[in-house]
Amino acid sequence: MKVALYARVSTSDKGQDSEVQMVPLRDYAQARGWAIYQEYIDNGISGAKERRPALDHLMADARRRLFDAVLVWRFDRFARSTRHLINALHEFRHLGVAFVSYQENLDTSSPLGEAMFTIIGAMAQLERDIIRERVKAGVARARARGRQLGRPRKVFHRDQVERLRAEGLSFRQIGERLGISPALALRLCRNDDRN
């Protein structure tokens, strides 16, 4: 089995180098009889960054199915958030690429690791559902208190649109003058024509 090794040393880890992570990963791969396809290392890059050169390269190579597994030191060295981890694990699963975390002892190529992946995915879904319910409850509470949500409505009268149109202004000019879209000005004129 070909394995890709990934390590990240953040900017806050002054004096630390990636070998602290890579040496045990190499030993682990050798003990399992895996051939190391390539080592992907992001040095001095925060895990919060959306774009990381080595991680982006690893994901591109995974999509080309150049290796069978990804081996990382810990989840937090790989993913910037739980959502990022779950999305990557889903993508690896779809590609048939196993994911192994050395410190957390998670290996999605084993039945137990696959079960753990399912549990992690269920917990992430639960987290999303809880957040959604909190937002709905907050919106309902705000409405019950009489708060108007969304953009404030523009106050104008339809007769203003008709008057400006009669003066020869275009719908764009009417929209600019009244602070509404040209499409709304057109629609208001059409509605008045139908009445």
- Provide the annotated active-site residues: 10
Among 114, 89, 100, which Cα is nearest to 28's? 100
| Environment class of 76 (CB within 10 Å of its CB; exposed 0-12, middle 13-18, buried 19+) | middle
Tell me, what amino acid is at 195? N
Burial 33-67 (b: 16+ CB within 10 A, else e): ebebbbbbbbeebebeeeebebbeebbebbeeeeb
